[in-house]
A and B are shown apart, each in its own frame.
Chain A
Amino acid sequence: MPRRGPRIPEKSKDFKGSMKRLFSSLDKWRYLLIFSLILAMISAILALIAPNRLSDLTDTITDGLVPNVNEEKMTEIMNDPNISMEDKMKAGEILATINDENALEKIDSLPTSIYEEIKPEIDIDKVKEISLLLLILYSVSAVLSYVQSFSMSTISNNFAKGLRTKISTKINKLPLKYFDNHETGNVLSIVTNDVDTIAMNMNNSLASLVTAVTLFIGSVIMMFYTNWIMAITAILSSLIGFGFMGLILGKSQKYFIQRQVELGNLNGYIEEMYSGHNVVKAYNGDKRAIKEFDELNEKLYTCNRKSQFLSGLMQPIMMFVGNFGYVAVCVVGALLTMNDIISFGVIVAFMIYVRMFTNPLSQIAQAMTSLQSTAAASERVFDFVDEKEMSNQDNLTHHLDKSKVKGKIEFKNVKFGYDKDKTIIKDFSALAQPGEKIAIVGPTGAGKTTMVNLLMKFYELNKGDIFIDGVATSDLTRENVHDLFVMVLQDTWLFEGTVRDNIKFNKQDVSDEEIWEALKVVGVDHFVKTLPNGIDTVLKDDESISAGQKQLLTIARGMIADAPFLILDEATSNVDTRTEELVQKAMDKLTEGRTSFIIAHRLSTIKNADLILVMKDGNIIEQGNHDELIEKNGFYAELYNSQFQN
Chain B
Amino acid sequence: MFKLLKRLSKKDLVLIIISFAFIFFQVWVDLKLPDYMSEITVLIQTEGSSMSDILVQGGYMMLCALGSLISAFIVGYFASFVAANFSKNIRRSIFKKVENFSMSEIKKFSTSSLITRTTNDVTQVEMLIAMGMQLMMRAPIMAIWAVSKILNKSFEWSMLTAGCVAILLFTIIVLMIIVLPRFEKVQKLIDSVNGVTRENLTGIRVIRAFNAEKYQEDRFEKVNGELTKMQLFNQRCFAILNPIMNIVMNGLTLGIYFIGAFLINGAGMVDKMTMFSNMVVFTSYGMQVIMSFLMLAMIFMIIPRVQVSAKRINAVLDEELTIKDGDFAGDTKETGTVEFKHVSFKYPDADEYLLRDISFKVKKGEVIAFIGSTGSGKSTLINLVPRFYDVTDGEILVDGVNVKDYKLDALHNKLGYVPQRAVMFTGTVSSNVSYGDNGKEDITSNKIKEAIEVAQGTEFVEKMDKTYDSHIARGGTNISGGQKQRLAIARAIARDPEIYIFDDSFSALDYKTDSILRKELKKYTKDATSMIVAQRIGTVLNADKIVVLDKGECVGIGTHKELLKKCEIYREIALSQLSKEELENA
Q: Is B193's CB under 8 angstroms from A191's CB?
A: yes
Find out whether the CB atom of B579 lies under 8 angstroms from the CB atom of A171.
no
Could you give, for residues 334-353 of chain A, a 1 whenever the CB lies within 8 Å of some chain B CB and a 0 otherwise? 11011000001001100000
**Stretch of A362-370, A374-382, A516-524, A574-582 that contacts chain B:** A574-582
Interchain CB contact under 8 A, A168 and B76? no
- Please tell me if B519 contacts chain A, counting CB pairs below 8 Å: yes
Residues from chain B with a CB closer than 8 A to the CB of A313 are 72-73, 76
Contact of A75 with B by CB under 8 A:
no
In the complex the two chains form, what is the Cα distance from A145 to B582 in whole Å? 82
23 A–B contacts, CB within 8 A, in A order: A47-B246, A119-B269, A120-B272, A157-B228, A168-B224, A184-B202, A192-B193, A268-B426, A274-B98, A279-B435, A284-B413, A288-B436, A305-B80, A305-B81, A334-B51, A456-B205, A458-B205, A482-B209, A507-B210, A576-B373, A603-B578, A646-B538, A646-B542
Complex Cα gap A143–B242 (Å): 11
| A277 adjacent to B111 (CB under 8 Å) | yes
Known interface pairs A5-B123, A313-B76. Does A443 touch B510 (Cβ–Cβ under 8 Å)?
Answer: yes
Known contacts A4-B123, A278-B417; is-contact A191 B197 (Cβ 8 Å)? yes
Q: How far is the CA of A105 from the CA of B515 in the complex (A)?
A: 112
Choose from A64, A168, A452, A573 the contact partner of B264 (Cβ within 8 Å): A64
Among residues of B, the one whose C-beta sits closest to the C-beta of A128 is B258
Distance of A309 Cα from B84 Cα, bound (Å): 10
A49 at the interface (CB under 8 A from B): no
A490 to chain B, nearest CB (A): 11
Task: Among A268, A274, A344, point to the contact of B44 (Cβ < 8 A).
Answer: A344
Output the residue of A146, A179, A323 with the most chain B CB within 10 A.
A323
B495 and A283 contact, CB distance less than 8 A: yes
Indicate if the CB atoms of B199 and A495 lie closer than 8 Å.
yes
User: In the assembled complex, which residues on chain B have CB atoms less than 8 Å from the CB atom of A337?
Assistant: 44
CB contact under 8 A between A191 and B194, given known A272-B426, A284-B413, A644-B541: yes
Tell me, in angstroms, the Cα distance from A456 to B211 when the chains sit together. Answer: 11
* A110 CB → nearest B CB, Å: 9
Q: Report the separation of the CA atoms of residues A149 and B242 in the bound assembly, to the nearest whole angstrom.
A: 9
**Chain A residues closer than 8 Å to B408, beta-carbon distance:** 281, 284
Judged by DSSP, the binding face of B is: helix
Say whether B80 contacts A306, CB under 8 Å. yes
Contact A320 B206 (CB under 8 A): no
The answer to the question of B240 belonging to the interface, with a C-beta cut-off of 8 Å to chain A, is yes
Known: A192-B193, A274-B98. A577 touches B373 (CB 8 A): yes
**B437 within 8 A of partner (CB):** yes
- A141 CA / B251 CA spacing, docked (Å): 12
Q: Tell me the chain B residues, 495-542 only, with Cβ under 8 Å from chain A.
A: 495, 507-513, 515-516, 518-519, 535-536, 538, 541-542
Which of B54, B207, B221, B247 makes the CB contact (< 8 A) with A138? B247
When A279-B435, A639-B512 are in contact, do A270 and B115 touch as well, CB less than 8 Å?
A: yes
> What CA separation (Å) do A45 and B83 show in the bound complex?
43
Indicate if A15 sits at the interface (CB-CB under 8 A): no
Question: Interface 1/0s, chain A 115-140, versus B by CB < 8 A?
Answer: 00001111010010001001100110
Rounded to whole angstroms, the CA-CA distance of A57 and B279 in the bound complex is 13
- Which listed residue, B120, B375, B383, touches A576 by the CB 8 Å rule? B375
Q: 5 nearest interchain CB pairs? A: A283-B436, A576-B373, A316-B72, A149-B239, A443-B510
Partner of A646, one of B240, B260, B515: B515
The answer on a CB contact under 8 Å between A122 and B88 is no
Any chain A CB within 8 A of the CB of B243? yes
A330 touches B213 (CB 8 A): no
List residues of chain B with CB within 8 A of the CB of A179.
Answer: 201, 204
Given A286-B99, A320-B69, A646-B519, residue A266 in contact with residue B119 (CB < 8 A)? yes
Tell whether B555 is near chain A: CB-to-CB under 8 Å.
no
From A644, which residue of chain B is reached at the shortest CB distance?
A: B586
Q: Say whether, besides A134-B254, A309-B76, A320-B68, A67 and B209 are in contact (CB < 8 Å).
A: no
A165 touches B579 (CB 8 A): no
| B153 interface hit (Cβ, 8 Å) | no
Are B201 and A338 in touch, CB under 8 angstroms?
Answer: no
The answer on a CB contact under 8 Å between A107 and B269 is: yes
- Contact partners of A643 in chain B: CB under 8 A: 511, 515, 538, 578, 582
Stretch of A78-86, A224-232, A295-303, A428-436 on the interface side: A295-303
User: Chain B residues near A269 (CB, 8 Å)?
Assistant: 426
Q: Does A160 contact B (CB under 8 A)?
A: yes
List chain B residues, Cβ under 8 A from A150.
236, 239
Does A531 have its Cβ within 8 Å of any Cβ on chain B? no
Which of the segments B9-17, B55-63, B338-346, B444-452 contacts the partner chain? B55-63
Chain A residues with CB under 8 A of B163 = none
Chain B residues, Cβ within 8 Å of A344? 41, 44-45
Closest to A580 in B: B576
